Chain A
Amino acid sequence: MIIDLQRFLAAERPFWIELEKLLDGLETTGGAVMQFEQARRFHYLYERAAAGLAKLNTFSSEPETRRYLESLVARAYGEINETRERQHRFSPWHWLFQTLPQTFRRRIRAFWLALGITMAGALFGGFAVAFDPEAKAAILPEMFANHMGDPAERVAKEEKDAKGHSAERMTSFSAQLMVNNISVSIRALAFGVTYGIGTIILLFYNGIILGLVTADYVMAGQTVFLLGWLLPHGVIELPAIFIGAQAGLVLAGALVGWGRRETLRARLRAVAPDLMTLICGVALMLVWAGIVEAFFSQFHAPVLPYSVKITFGCIELMALIFFLSRCGRAEEEQEKATAAAPLLEAKARS
């Protein structure tokens, strides 16, 4: 059977145009919320368009009209249906003190793996410079050119010019550090899509540089300077990069999916919110690290005693460990207890 297409179009087109206008409005205004009557009308128009599409699919029709109607139904379908479990207002406080640390702990194995790979790289870099002094020139990239010489000479120079970077450049230096470190963390996450290979290489290479510089300064007897220079920003910056890599390894884990029965799409959908949480947390940490590095780490003794810098770094590290290990734990345990309550009740009854 073939429908009277012209009559059908004439009858239905006003409804399609009304639906299209509603969709355009929703799409341009972003998070606009509809009133009840509007929502009812929207749903009616969607169902009417869907029914029209069903008719056109069943009967003969002009392909352009069908494509248009399919697009309209698809857009309305996407507006009406979504994958979020429940809508809730975003609370920055709740996100920072509960969601972020809880997510970190839930994915802690990937963090340990990231840390382990970096440590392996650091050991490699340390041994390389200990057994072959030429390794430094071969491995260190150009951006570390100021570490090519003797560490003792650099320390003497830094202490002579103890104000660090001139005050006129501190803000822009801080901005550059933030941008560079956030870019590295994003790459650590993004390369997780190469089944984690890119992330592992990135971590290992960063570990080599870290180990090489550390061993070089320690062997030259400049451990105190090194700690005073690295700890204030490094205790935040390095964990932030590990967390970025943790997100990359979580993504890789979802792609590989060993021993899991869900489909690839289901696995990726499940990890997406965690990846978002981790990378946003990393960005926050690196903003802090950038400020500390530019405005604090670059000042050396005698202007700023190393003991102050090292103490500051230790306090930051302890605060970070407390934040990541303790924050949101009570709520987490409460949620676990609530989830387990029906099972316990059933067990008690039996």
Chain B
Amino acid sequence: MSRLAILHIRTPEGIVFSQELAGPMTRFLAWFIDGLCLLAFVFLLMTALSVFGFLSPDIAQAVGTLGMFVFYLGYGIYTEWRWRGQTIGKRVLRLRVVDVHGLRLKFSQVLIRNLLRPVDMQPLFFYLVGGLASLLNSRCQRLGDLAANTIVVRIPKLTEPNLDQLMADKFNSLRAAPHLEARLRQRVSPAEASIALQAIVRRDLLEPRARVELFAELAAHFKGKVQFPVDTVEGITDEQYVRNVLDCLFRPGRKSAARPQPDAEPAPPGNVPPVAA
């Protein structure tokens, strides 16, 4: 089952931002990593106590019993409070617990969601109750999250778009008709431009046939928006046409590189055919 749950939050300033909710599987993996941390702690504690046990077995056993209980109970509470909603597992998988309104967590929220874990973990340690609850809940909340008014969100990494893939210093034949270029910018919606940009950025991930079909469809769509003179589009591939369109959309007012001369050095081989005039 695959789904992408998004939570939209509107700030008092009127800014709307969305947060991608973490699904049960990712959360289970984070919990698994945390489980390994707990095991490592138990191993360290037992090793330390086996040394201390020679002096006083009773106190060593008491420290062991209390230490394991406090660490088991306190690990989630301490790390989530100290690291603003993250445990080691959540850090590794880039997850974070936040208030359901996107606000900072209160200690009571951290405490309640961790204390209610025994219910979510039923039966035994299989997390079936929590897993089912988060599958059925639109905000992917387990019962502890519901009671504490918390959600678990993903933290995306910064991946700056490589706009050089569009038309870095290459000749764009569409710029020969500036009035049509301006009309294109006027008629193409942000959503359409975004789709075309994604197609260009991810083009190498596509199957060759699918790639040709996709760019043919996109080129036909943009050609339907504005008709450029035949001499500006003649001999260029659909993919190149889309790249030219995007260059016009995302780099307004930029002068195009000089038209390549027939005796100029050939462009280095790549996935994309060289720009045609």
Contacts and interface: CB of A to CB of B under 8 A. Distances in A.
28 contacts: A4-B250, A5-B250, A6-B250, A50-B11, A50-B13, A59-B190, A61-B190, A61-B194, A62-B197, A64-B156, A65-B158, A65-B161, A71-B156, A78-B102, A79-B104, A81-B104, A82-B103, A169-B58, A171-B58, A171-B61, A172-B58, A172-B61, A175-B65, A186-B73, A186-B115, A265-B100, A272-B109, A272-B148
Contacts of B100: 265
B46 to A, nearest CB: 14
A130 interface: no
Given A67-B156, A73-B17, A176 B65 contact: yes
B59 A171 contact: yes
A59 B193 CA distance: 10
Interface stretch (A188-196, A217-225, A308-316): A188-196
Interface residues of A, number: 71
A203 to B, nearest CB: 16
Most chain B beta carbons < 10 A, residue from A20, A27, A77, A186? A77
A146 B69 CA distance: 26
A2 B249 contact: yes
Nearest to B185: A2
Q: How large is the interface on B (under 10, 10 to 19, 20 to 34, 35 or more residues)?
A: 35 or more
Interface of B: 9, 11-20, 57-59, 61-63, 65-66, 69, 73, 81-84, 86, 98-104, 106-109, 111-112, 115-119, 143-144, 146-149, 153, 155-161, 163, 185, 188-191, 193-194, 197-198, 201, 249-253
Contact of B57 (A2, A16, A168, A269): A168
B250 A26 contact: no
A288 B240 CA distance: 77
Interface of A: 1-2, 4-6, 9, 13, 16, 20, 26-28, 30, 47, 50-51, 53-54, 57-65, 67-68, 70-71, 73-75, 77-79, 81-84, 168-172, 174-176, 178-179, 182-183, 186-187, 189-191, 193-194, 198, 251, 255, 265, 268-269, 272-273, 275-276, 279
Contacts of B160: 9, 13, 64-65
Given A6-B251, A63-B198, A77 B17 contact: yes
Given A58-B190, A68-B156, A73-B15, 14 more contacts: A5-B161, A5-B163, A27-B86, A53-B15, A60-B193, A64-B161, A68-B158, A70-B17, A74-B98, A78-B104, A83-B103, A168-B57, A172-B65, A193-B143
